[in-house]
Structure 1
Amino acid sequence: MKTTTIYVCQGCGYHSPKWLGKCPDCGAWNSFTEEVRGREKGGRLAPAAGVKAVPLCEVAGETEERLSCGISEFDRVLGGGLVAGSLVLIGGDPGIGKSTILLQVMNHLAESAGPALYVSGEESARQTRLRAERLDIRAPKLLVLAETSLETILGQIAELSPRAVVIDSIQTMFTAGLESAPGSVSQVRECAGKLMVAAKRSGIPTFIVGHVTKDGALAGPRVLEHMVDTVLYFEGDQGHAFRILRAVKNRFGSTNEIGVFEMKEGGLREVANPSALFLSERPVGVSGSAVVTTIEGSRPLLVELQALVTPSSLGVPRRTTLGVDHNRLALLVAVLDKKVGLHLSGSDIFLNAAGGARLNEPAADLGMVTALASSHLDKVIDPQTVIIGEVGLAGEVRAITQPETRVREAAKLGFTRAVIPAGSLTQVSPLAGMEVIGVRSVEEALERLL
């Protein structure tokens, strides 16, 4: 066997025949490590026998059966359950609950569908047992394997034929075909590739746990996210009990769905009504607080927006946001200044989506503007009012999608008034106990609300 020495960037996987101080692809410094690779002479792959292309219309179009994970919020994010042979990558900060939720999922699958295999490369079998006892997990068909050798793991999968497999984590796995250390770009890519082939051939759905970098991105080569069928991110602050599971890639479902969980002593518990959870500690009679409705996938969520506007003693006033786009805040402050006459350029502004929620859609614009004006003028918004609408640069309030779904969700939680764009009024049916007000501009909305 002929061996060659190459240098691989651990940030992006760029290859170089010599060591470089700075990666020319991703710009990372001191990220190259030496790897020795072997290549057998005459190692060209022979064409597979009996493989040929077929017309797409002749491919069987059977409906794919899905395997329920036993947790409805988890099934929602996956698109309705696990698809046979799918490869699911789940990432998140350390301690956020990745291993906990997967252990709970595997426990249900072991009880309802058959044997399930949990492979731990970070904990011993005894440590996994202690964690399972804390979560009250006792399924007799839940199998645990403390191993990091990929060849051994694949052998166990072939021997046991489990209904589902968890690899925790991909950064601890290694294959004997490469001499590089576990967690390196080459090892992660090669191990993920072999697991993908095994999942597709056997039809066994496989979960892969991935570490994240300090920037919040999944560690390892970018190709890892392209190889898998689904990429899930666990989000949340360890200081809060709430966790949000979000799909950023899904070949078998929507990428807009989220699942909301609450961390308790016995593990993660799904939250059936996230809106009530986000509003549970909302202060009453305080300026700068507004409630908006956002759509996450097919689910409407009510979220409280909190704004604090104070005179600044700095030459450049501070602009701080949590859960809200910083550039969107700058745009809305400019609209308030130019179109309404509220001069906030000399004030420090802090804007927060309470409960760790993240607002990305423009339908929350009117709620942000109202919260800012409320804090600046020190006037309280009616606590039974929900505010929805997109704000344009001319100060107009633009129509939004699914207005009736948003208003109905607010009515379920006891809100009695909704301020929405005038262009969306015709799409909302009359609701008992709910007053729906249409506005055409930011100035008109502030006159109604403040």
Structure 2
Amino acid sequence: MVLWGFSYAGVHRRPAVAKKIAGIFVGTKTKNVGIAAMPLTDIAVRNAKPAPEPYKLTDGGGMYLHIHPNGSRYWRMAYRIAGKQKVFAIGVYPAVTLAEARQIRDDAKRLVKQGIDPVAERKRAAKQNADDRANTFEAIAREWHQTKQGSWTASHAAKILNSLEADIFPALGDRPLTTVTAPDLLEALRVIEKRGALEVAGRVLQRCNAVFRFAIATGRGTYNPAADLRGALKTPEKRHYAALGHAELPEFMRKLSEYDGDLQTRLALRLLALTFVRTGELRAAQWTEFDLDGAEWRIPAERMKMREAHIVPLSRQAVDVLRQLEAINGDGAYVLPSRNGRGACISENTVLYALYRMGYHSRATGHGFRATASTILNEMGFPPDWIERQLAHAERNKVRAAYNRAQYLVERRELMQVWADYLDSAASDRFVAPTEFGRLWLRK
């Protein structure tokens, strides 16, 4: 510190001089102390010693080092904005060096020149940083998942979260969601593509799209980069479930009747063929969903792919199968309970492995019965609307969907009985092509 041409740092070891200079501070406010006319040097800052009263070493541009009696030293910058005198805290010396303090001062002066208060800007930036830490992509994605999982089955909710944890969170999870760009997201998705999981990449993109839309809806995002990636991913070849043609039904029905595996599995396969519901809908079926006397199965919305309750009219043959299952499983909750004794239903592989055992590896799947039934019933001449309603396919027109929810129920009862009779005919000498069988039905 320079006072009237003397360096306080240079005379602090000369008691008489130091005492005289120190006496200047007694009863004197810091702002009235003499100020150095020249910019500071690293040596001057390093050698500055505390005095009985706080004092300042000025550097220029409004910046000064405020030295307290306890030895602490703070960089400060005095400035005026909107006609008011204010002080900007730059940092603590020596954590912030002279050079660093000057850089911060220059940045702050540029803000003042633009009419921006650096103190207010620092508070805004601190809040933004706090928001960014709280609103990472992973944090918002998990919140989205939490709000949506009530509308999903437990297994589907787990699959969605697992895909994000495995393929997106490692790359983007700790990033503030607002900083994630379309190229960032595409780079993460390309990793999935490179391992050949094209369908997974597409589903993950859909989930990311939902996360960004959720962020925008809740006020924590303004831009959805996932929407900009439409068409950017490779499209997987559409694969159809292996399904039997009508000419293969006689052999299949014969092999099914001769199946020597578990009785419950054989009955499950027959019921799947008779009802052509989705495999998951059959596996998790519970006795409370059935009215065997009324020949009706009502699958609740939460177990349906489209989240709409579905009515399955039961043919005489389907009721007979269910009566047999009731005799062996009627004391439990599930129609097809697992044999592991853990209170669960049969696994998704039970039906598939049974088909393998019958010799239908790559030739038939449980889901394939839906395609088989749809094709044959259309060839028989049944109205497509009846068939689509029985398959519980989504109706794109929402008004029509609401109208059709229970529509054609009487007609669908007839359709399901004709289908069951056709399967029975496949195991007899009465088996004919679908078109011929359809003509017999139309004559009734």
TM-score, structure 2 normalization? 0.23
Structure number with bigger Rg: 2
Higher helix share: 2
Higher strand share: 1
TM-score, structure 1 normalization? 0.23
Looking at both structures, which has the greater relative contact order when contacts are Cα pairs under 8 Å and sequence separation is at least 6? 1
